[in-house]
Amino acid sequence: MKAVARKSEPPKARLVGKTTIEDLSSVTKNSWNPNRMTPFERQSLRHGLVQDGWLVSHALTVWRTDEKGKTRNIIIDGEHRWEEAIALGMKQGPMVFLDGLTEAAAKMLTVKLDAKRGRFDEDALASLLKGVQESLNLETQALDLGIQPDLLSDYLRPDVVAPPVAEIPSGQTAAVKTVPLYFQPADHEAFTKLVRELSEKYKTKNSTDTVFEAVRRAHAAATTK
């Protein structure tokens, strides 16, 4: 008799913790958080707390007790929300408490929760923003969305149809130079500052035009030497 292979049961996610509203003074921030925010991101976070309220889905994750039962009450995730809420004078906020964690497990959760939030698909984000553009408040849209003003301007630019490519005469070849552009999120603040300064110098209207103008001038300078 032939044995029938049994299908393994898929792993089931388990719910951990329960959201409650607690005093902000009852918890403290940790000493290991590697996440950093720019001044603009902090300003946008504070603006969101005022404009949208503190959504329960953005509750603080708190390490309440360790594996020996010792009380810790240390924030694992949500330190910046906690700081900005206190700066606004808020007294309470949503929290999820975790018990029985070792210090190593608490530290790893700080990294895990930051790393698993995903990132925007640039084209999909631009399309989404253009779809809701009429509903955006022109004065506060950058703070509302948490996107730097010049970058938001690029996302909201009308789609430009590329002109047809000229046909290359028979027997001739076209030299095409591809220039890869690399951008590191950690350099965002320095990049936007440089683009803003060059935009004033070149009298360009947005960051894309500014970058292209900088490349054009650098190329012209190199070919005239």
Using one digit for the tens of pLDDT, what is the confidence trace for 198-212? 877 888 777 777 877
More confident of the two residues 1 and 64: 64
Whether the full predicted model's pTM is greater than 0.75, yes or no, is no
Which pLDDT score is estimated for 196? 78
Which pLDDT score is estimated for 34? 92
With cut-offs at 50, 70 and 90, classify the pLDDT of residue 182: very low
pLDDT, mean of residues 90-112: 96
Q: Would the pLDDT of 222 be above 60?
A: yes
CA distance 105 to 121: 31
Q: Would the pLDDT of 176 be above 50?
A: no
pLDDT, mean of residues 32-55: 95
Q: Would the pLDDT of 28 be above 90?
A: yes
What strands lie across the sheet with 19-23, from one edge to the other? Answer: 19-23, 92-98, 60-65, 71-77, 28-29
> Which of 87, 62, 65, 64 is closest to 75 using CA atoms?
62
CA distance 63 to 34: 17
For the chain, the domains span 19-115, 122-159+183-223
> What is the DSSP track for 1-27?
-PPPPPPPPPPPP-----EEEEEGGG-
Tokens standing for residue 161: 């149809």
Percentage of the chain exceeding pLDDT 90: 52
Instruction: Tell which CATH architecture fits domain 19-115.
Output: Alpha-Beta Complex (3.90)
DSSP label at residue 5: P
Which pLDDT score is estimated for 4? 61
Residue that has been written with the tokens 């300078």 in this structure: 221
